[in-house]
Structure 1
Amino acid sequence: MTASVTALYTCTVAHVRSRPQRYGFRHRTYLWLVDPDRLPRLPRLLRPLAGFDARDHFGGGAPTIRAGLESFLAAQGVDLAGGRVLMLTHARVLGHVFNPLTLYWCHDRDGKPLCVVAEVHNTYGERHCYLLRTDGHHRARVDKEFYVSPFFPVDGRYRMRLPEPAGRLELTVHLERDGQRPFTATVRGERRPATALGLLRAAVRHPWSTAAVSLGIRMHGIRLFLRGLPVQPRPRHRTQKGLQ
């Protein structure tokens, strides 16, 4: 299976809460880095282990992932003009996918970084995208606009550091509220060749990885609820402009 930039990242995802109670967890998984214009071509027997489908991203109605991204960007006044995109995501595994965070590094036609799109999914089947303009240190700030954890209201700001993956994957997301950082998420990983053998190794080490991520988030939510954390009301979700 080949694609110009395709790679696997074996990684550790960590969530740390400091308020209102201290709580943290880590889990291991793997992510794909792909060019949505040149998605991997898998051998037939391996296709159940990695699928990339437009219905899993943005509004779910675009003909391709790239088309969904461009529709969202157009609604924000951004034109890639054919520029290259790199996408970091979970693939669909055995018919199931759950992507808490998919990132798109967008470049202009000359290859210069233009923006980053952070596509967030919650466990209620809702989606939201943030358009990010990063600085020279790959940092961006954006107001929180989407209900993710049932234990945090929809307020505050995200401070993110999102360098484009290379040999290492190093992502950080802080939630800032009232001058404090009650929540931090990090993703740290190493690049691996996206060969058939590499995919098989990842699938054996992390069986049904997307279901494991989905189940893990729910189990940690139950633990926090049993610890007495109050559940915040979930506001009505409004579909963003450009999500088709």
Structure 2
Amino acid sequence: MTALSGEGRGRPVPAALYPCTITHARRAPQPYVLRHRTYLWLVDVDHLPVLPHPLRPLARFRPRDHFTGRAPSIRAALDGFLSEHGIDLHGGQVLMLAHARILGHVFNPLTLYWCHGQDGVLRCVVAEVHNTYGERHAYLLHTDAAGTATVSKDFYVSPFYPVDGRYEMRLPPPGERLRLSVRLRRPGSPPFTAAVHGTRRAATAPALLRVALRHPWSTLMVSAAIRFHGIRLFLRGLPVQSRPGRRTPESTS
């Protein structure tokens, strides 16, 4: 079966699926490694996949799940964020890597947007972070030729880390292989590293059914795993850092 179709402006880029392994590794104050398997979508935000009607509960992409949650489309929300930083893509292609909403639930710890200009040149990468408290934050990144960038951490994610330090992100555009990493460096502390490794699959209806059956309720399992491992770390005596005042979905920078 051919790849799932999309609709929108310009020339479409076929959607892809990435069955992948996500790893979180901390070395201090207690060594701990978390691994779980899931799958991610790579989509053109102007040509979101149109699934056969029976499969639509398995993958929905809704504007309310990104940025302020009030824009009429994901593209409009992203363009609004970029405009605040003086960037206009002039309709250039944007590829988004994210979990889809599955059976009414979605949780995206990290959504990535590779943003191209009208000439096809990569202008920037946007990393949109969600925490388990329902808060959102977006980082604007200007990556080098290897896809790397650094940025100050200014959003509360884990209850075991304060809001300080710097992220070193390696975010090359996905190809046949998906190899991403985010490393948090803090003064006087070994780094915390998160990595995503996966292999590209055409987003056909049979492929979606296979990964959905292999990883049912995948986004719910991601948020449950984060909470479960957080409880384990707390019970091991890892100190909890106080959370700053609530950050609304509008608070992006």
Q: TM-score if structure 1 supplies the norm length?
A: 0.97
Q: Which of 2, 5, 13 is matched with 1:2 structurally?
A: 5
Hey, what does 1:67 align to over in structure 2?
A: 76
Q: Distance in 2 between matches of 1:58 and 1:104?
A: 12
What root-mean-square deviation, in Å, do the aligned CA atoms of Structure 1 and Structure 2 show? 1.2
Hey, what does 2:147 align to over in structure 1?
A: 138
Mind listing any 5+ residue stretches in structure 1 that lack a counterpart? none
Structure 2 counterparts to residues 117-128 of structure 1, below 5 A: 117-128=126-137
Q: Distance in 2 between matches of 1:26 and 1:51?
A: 25
Q: Distance in 2 between matches of 1:73 and 1:100?
A: 20
Mind listing any 5+ residue stretches in structure 2 that lack a counterpart? 7-12
Shift of 1:214: 0.7
Pair 1:14-2:17 in alignment: no
Q: Which of 184, 187, 190 is matched with 2:193 structurally?
A: 184
Q: Distance in 1 between matches of 2:152 and 2:86?
A: 19
The runs of at least 4 consecutive aligned structure 1 residues that moved more than 4 Å come to: 239-243
Q: From the superposition, tell whether residues 59 and 241 of structure 1 become closer, same or farther in structure 2 (CA, over 3 Å).
A: closer
Q: Distance in 1 between matches of 2:195 and 2:187?
A: 21
Structure 2 counterparts to residues 67-146 of structure 1, below 5 A: 67-146=76-155
Query: 1:89-139: CA deviations, max 9, x gaps?
Result: 000000000000000000010000100000000000000000000011110
Query: 1:181-212: CA deviations, max 9, x gaps?
Result: 43100000000010000000000000110100
Which amino acid letter does the alignment assign opposite residue 73 of structure 1?
A: L
Hey, what does 1:199 align to over in structure 2?
A: 208
Other structure's SS at 1:135 match = coil
Do 2:21 and 2:35's aligned partners in 1 also have CA atoms closer than 8 Å?
A: yes
Hey, what does 1:152 align to over in structure 2?
A: 161
Hey, what does 2:179 align to over in structure 1?
A: 170
Q: TM-score if structure 2 supplies the norm length?
A: 0.94
Other structure's SS at 1:47 match = helix
Q: From the superposition, tell whether residues 239 and 80 of structure 1 become closer, same or farther in structure 2 (CA, over 3 Å).
A: farther
Q: Distance in 2 between matches of 1:176 and 1:169?
A: 23
Hey, what does 1:231 align to over in structure 2?
A: 240
Report % sequence identity: 66
